[in-house]
Amino acid sequence: MFGVVFPNRSFPMDISTFVQIDTFHWVLDMNHFVGEAYDQIGEMCIFLLNNFTLPPDKALAVYVQSPGSAFAFCGAVTVSRPSAVLSLQWPEPGSAAQLQLTAGDSAPLSAKIGISVEDAASLQSLDVAAERKIERLAMRVGENLFNFMQSFCGVDGSKLVVPMDILDRWFKKFQERAKRDPGFLKSFAL
């Protein structure tokens, strides 16, 4: 059905590495794979295998769970996007009180990766990390504009006053710097 690879960490693994919870859910216990160093696994490549046909309106969604936390959505693959390298943004582990709620003879809580067949339309995005990068880029461009405007500000009572052509001046300066320095725009995406 699907396979996964952890870049620089594993050979390709198929569905047999995961524990099947039910018809549409699988879990990989990270303790068996990397022990407590789960948070050092930052990427995962997931791919549909050639002999598997996922209905066009369905997706294989990927979730991560730190010990004691809820599952957090990372991204998905579909028939039209049969593979993806997803950033694994591990949630903060649950509180010490939550971690101690397990019975004394039960296995300790561990980090997990969950795979689920879901309706593609119900997913917020196929690649959460890409959306976060875009959001970070927009925030940094906005900060650049704000800092530029602040250097030309005057105060009129409780209002900041800027020249009318400030946006044009900023945009021209932004474009010129991007042409001069190819790394300039890349610095915003970090």
pLDDT digit string, tens, across residues 122-164? 876 655 666 667 777 788 888 888 888 888 777 777 777 888 8
Same domain, yes or no, for 159 and 77? no
Same domain, yes or no, for 94 and 136? no
Same domain, yes or no, for 165 and 133? yes
The number of folded domains in the chain is 2
**Strand runs (DSSP E) across 97-136, as ranges?**
112-119
Same domain, yes or no, for 16 and 52? yes
Interatomic CA distance for residues 69 and 74, integer angstroms: 15
Same domain, yes or no, for 109 and 150? no
Write down the pLDDT at residue 50: 78
Same domain, yes or no, for 137 and 68? no
Which of 106, 123, 140 terminates a domain? The answer is: 123
Interatomic CA distance for residues 11 and 145, integer angstroms: 45
124 contacts 130 by C-beta, under 8 angstroms: no
Q: How far is CA 34 from CA 47, 110, 162, in A?
A: 21, 11, 55
Which of 74, 96, 123 terminates a domain? The answer is: 123
- Dihedral of the alpha carbons of 38, 69, 127, 190, in degrees to the nearest 10: -70
Interatomic CA distance for residues 168 and 54, integer angstroms: 49
pLDDT tens digits for 44-93? 999 998 767 788 889 999 999 999 888 888 889 988 889 988 888 888 88
Q: Which two tokens stand for residue 54?
A: 């996922």
Same domain, yes or no, for 73 and 166? no
Same domain, yes or no, for 80 and 174? no
> pTM to 2 decimals?
0.64
Same domain, yes or no, for 23 and 115? yes
- Residue-number span of the structural domain to which 101 is assigned: 3-123
Same domain, yes or no, for 179 and 99? no
Q: What DSSP designation does 55 have?
A: -
Q: What DSSP designation does 95 have?
A: P
Same domain, yes or no, for 20 and 81? yes
Query: Considering just the CA atoms, what is the radius of gyration of the chain in Å?
Result: 23
Q: How far is CA 21 from CA 24, 90, 118, in A?
A: 8, 21, 15
Same domain, yes or no, for 81 and 107? yes
Which of 75, 92, 123 terminates a domain? The answer is: 123
